[in-house]
Amino acid sequence: MKTFDFSGLSVCCGDDEACKKAAKLFFGEIQKRTGILPLLTDTPKPPSVSFVCAPQKNKDSYTISYNGGVLTIAGEGIRSLIYGYSYFLRKSEYRNGKITLIRDISGEYVPDKRIRGHQLGYRNCNNTYDAWSLDDYRRYYLDIMMFGSNTVEQIPGDGGPGNNRLMKYNQNDFCFMSSALADEFDLDFSLWYPNDDKDLDESLKERREFFEKCPRLNVVFPPGGDPGDYPGDEFVDRCIAISKELKKIHPNAEMWPSAQKPHTQISWGEDFIEKMKLLPDEIDGVITGPNRAFTLDTLRRLLPSKYPIRLYPDITHNVRCEYPVHFDRDDWHYALATAIGRETINPRPVEYREIHRLTRRYVVGSVSYSDGSNDDVNKMVWGDMDFFPDTPLRETLLDYARAFMWELPAEKVADGILALERNWIGDPAENPSIEDTYALWKGLSDEYPQVLDNWRFCQLLFRAGCDALVRRRRLFENSLLDDARYILSNGGTIEEAIAMLNTEYEPDYRELRAYTDMLAQRLFDLIGMQLEVERFGASGWERGATLNSLDLPVTDRAWYLNRLNYALTLPENERDEFINGLINRNKVAPDEYYFSLAEHGFGVLGEPQQGEFYIDFQGDRVSVNNGTIPMSQLKLYDHYSFRCRLGGFTPGVDYKLRISYRKAKYDFVRKHTVTVNGKVIYCGKQYGGEKNEKFDADYLAPNTETATYLLPAEVFENGCVELVISEPTVGIMMSEFWVLRA
């Protein structure tokens, strides 16, 4: 493929202010990459980049042409001109001051979606932005524009604890400053502005004063809930009232409420739709995102076509969220989910491409939910898909490398990002490519040591190191567990098993653990990323504080130590029985069955679950995963029904079904139902069944309990069962079950 040498380029622009501003910004980008400041000329002199203001299909479109060594970027204003020069930067390589455009990029560029942006809320509960200055935001606004974004979203003060030790500004004041900054680049400015519990007149007064202080305001987005819980019809009425005030101050601003259902409002969705069927002109569109009242397809079918839909995709979280890792099967291994955490550095380009393909036909665009820099790759990938939906994913990642890590070979960076996503497939102990991924990123840092000044590189190297730590620890500890069980099964003492389980980690593990600490400090110094609560000021363990979860149990080692120390407190004549139950907790005969959601996943159940379930993952919770819970209980299934198809049971034999639930807490439940092959085994108060307090105390996590139901031989069909567990009001919360001979 033909390349073009733009080394020593000059920049030409007319008298238009937008062209001058674009040229100045472009200067800075070239100087940063080459150390050389381009020349500014009145007449294009090859090699040259020339900026021209000219009409386009819309204000987001741009045209690039190349003739005789002169590359001309034409756009309607500063926004499209930034897109134009960014595309040049994405398609150029920079080596030793030399600039090489890798191919002819002439053409007309028109975005697929008209709304393309990200929520970058300056508040005390995200993992990075609260440490940023306005200049840091200026840089990041330009970065997301590099991949086609035209909208930034801020968050007014939410009545929380206020500024933390990292924040330089009052939250509301920063909204006004970032509104002005957005205007500087002609970015649309959106507000995520939840309802409050104030009287409507008082609430309108507060919002009116806020709107008046925003130099630019294009969209107001009140979520339907989480927070701001009002019945669906009252929610729409409040949005209409707010919209009227908004448009008095910013006549062209739009009101986009979200169809996010409060958990306490059962009929919220139906009430919302009935109100929207009255076609209020004050509403300009509807947003859908986490905790949605309807699936996207259902919302589009029910919502009058007058109202476009904007997606609010959660690209920042990994568990307990809208799109958990492996969203279509929710099988992210508990060891990774535990140690890496809910909001860690999480490039998931392949998965988000799939989600984008599933959703894009229903929406006019998206503004993602983000709570920090951990999802930086995802932001750029999603933005690029909103602009260029058919661009090959690897090409976008090559662009990401050339745009932000120009010191490095783009191919290695792109492949390294894809490798990081593949690290999260299956049990890390069974995924040797995790070590290859770490070797790739560490090798780049060794070969190009200056890249440790690049925060994006440090993030990806940190993640690769964390994945490797989880793998190494799981291999090491599982080996210790095997040895401890052998000791206990072959006449050894409890003390000997405890000593085995207390074996120290090997030196290479300790060295890598210290290295990840160093990288975390580096990321805090570079961009204020908060990977730990105490040291860096993260607002909580769930907010990207990976170092707070990295050392949590990822095997049953800590639980075994807990139980073995408990065994030492028992009378000697009770210890053997207890140890036997511990070793054989999950073992069953060939014609019996044991299932753990954490250990086995949904794939072995023979049929999919119906409707949208939720996995309340327990592993990254410091107060839960502290040696008192076996790994088999880390995933808590929360839904109105659970179903599976199983075979291999002996005909003519009675069995019993034992299920571990979260402890019962709803006295009003009267229809907890267990059905086998269509026959009701139990229907009544929550869980019911036979209790086994000794088993629960010895072998279950706190706050969980088992219930056991008799399965008579006659309910089986040639050794097969279709099992359904259901409850229509609060649902069921379960983690594992056994089918044992009665």
Taking only the tens place, the pLDDT of each residue in 645-674 is 999 999 999 999 999 999 988 999 999 999
Cα radius of gyration (the chain) = 29
Average per-residue pLDDT for the chain? 95
Report yes or no: 552 and 619 within 8 Å, Cβ to Cβ.
yes
Which of 120-129, 216-225, 367-376 has the least mean pLDDT? Answer: 120-129
Identify the pLDDT of residue 206. Answer: 94
In order of 116, 420, 425, 471, 612, the CA distances from 348 in angstroms are: 19, 8, 12, 19, 22
Average pLDDT, stretch 555-569? Answer: 98
**pTM (2 d.p.):** 0.96
User: Six-digit token pair at 578?
Assistant: 């207890």
pLDDT mean over 512-532: 97
Q: Determine the longest span between alpha carbons in the chain, in angstroms.
A: 96
Do residues 286 and 309 make contact, with C-beta atoms less than 8 angstroms apart? yes
CB 90, CB 381: distance < 8 Å: no
pLDDT of residue 541: 85
Total residue count of the chain as it appears in this document:
742
User: End-to-end CA distance of the chain, in Å?
Assistant: 72
At 163, the pLDDT band (50, 70, 90 cuts) reads: confident
Are 517 and 466 contacting, i.e. CB atoms less than 8 angstroms apart? no
Mean pLDDT of 573-583: 96
Q: Could you tell me which residues come within 8 angstroms of residue 655 by beta carbon, excluding any fewer than 6 positions away? A: 592, 649, 710, 711, 713, 716, 739, 740, 741, 742
**CA 387, CA 109: separation in Å to the nearest integer?**
9
Contacts of 505 (CB under 8 A, 6+ apart): 473, 476, 513
Tens digits of residue pLDDT in 168-198: 999 999 999 999 999 999 999 999 999 988 8
Residue 445 three-state SS = helix
Residue 202: in which H helix or E strand, if any?
helix 200-212
pLDDT category of residue 227 using cuts at 50, 70 and 90: confident
- For the record, the structure tokens of 729 come out as 């009001």
pLDDT recorded at residue 75: 97
What mean pLDDT is predicted for residues 437-441?
Answer: 98
β-strand pairing of 98-101 with 4-5: antiparallel
What SS3 state is found at 471? helix
d(CA 318, CA 320): 7
What percentage of residues in the chain have a pLDDT greater than 70? 99
Overall average pLDDT of the 97-109 stretch:
96
Beta carbons within 8 Å of 555's beta carbon, 6+ residues apart:
335, 473, 474, 477, 478, 481, 631
**Segment 333-362 mean pLDDT:** 96
Q: What is the mean pLDDT of the segment spanning 607-617?
A: 91
Can you give the pLDDT at residue 291? 87
Cβ neighbours of residue 165 closer than 8 Å, sequence gap 6 or more: 537
pLDDT band at 158 (very low <50, low <70, confident <90, very high): low
Provide the H-helix boundaries in 388-493: 393-404, 410-422, 433-447, 455-489
Q: Which domains does the chain have, with CATH numbers?
A: 4-109 (3.30.379.10), 115-393 (3.20.20.80), 420-567 (no CATH), 588-741 (2.60.120.260)
Q: What is the mean pLDDT of residues 244-268?
A: 93
Q: Which amino acid is at 212?
A: E
CA gap 49, 47 in Å, rounded: 7
Residue 652, beta-bridge partner list: none
Identify the weakest region by mean pLDDT among 58-67, 244-253, 264-273.
264-273
Q: Is the pLDDT of residue 236 over 70?
A: yes
Reported as a pLDDT band with limits 50, 70 and 90, residue 36 is confident
Whole-angstrom Cα distance, residue 654 to residue 715?
Answer: 9
* Ramachandran category for residue 177: left, alpha or beta (phi over 0 → left; psi -120 to 50 → alpha): alpha
Q: What is the pLDDT of residue 539?
A: 84
* Among 358, 229, 370, CA closest to 291: 229
Determine which helix (DSSP H) or strand (DSSP E) holds 610, and give its type and residue range: none
pLDDT for 124:
86
| Confidence class for position 692, pLDDT limits 50, 70, 90 | very high
What number of other Cβ atoms are within 10 A of residue 133's Cβ?
Answer: 12
Across 475-507, b (16+ Cβ under 10 Å) vs e yields ebbbebbebbbebbeeebebeebbebbeeeeee
| pLDDT bucket at 266, cuts 50 / 70 / 90 | confident
Q: Residue 279: what pLDDT?
A: 98
Q: Which SS3 state, helix, strand or coil, does residue 307 take?
A: coil
pLDDT beyond 60 at 322: yes
Residue 440 Ramachandran class (φ > 0 left, ψ -120 to 50 alpha, else beta)? alpha
**Burial of 508 (C-beta count, 10 Å sphere; 0-12/13-18/19+):** exposed
Reported as a single tens digit per residue, the pLDDT across 278-308 is 999 999 999 999 989 999 999 999 999 999 9
What order do you get walking across the sheet with 4-5 strand by strand? 4-5, 98-101, 92-95
**pLDDT at 162 exceeding the cut of 80:** no
* Rounded to 5°, angle at Cα 385 from 408 and 394: 35
161, pLDDT greater than 70: no
Picking from 299, 284, 286, the residue whose alpha carbon sits closest to that of residue 244 is 284
Which has the closest alpha carbon to 64: 96, 98, 35, 101? 101
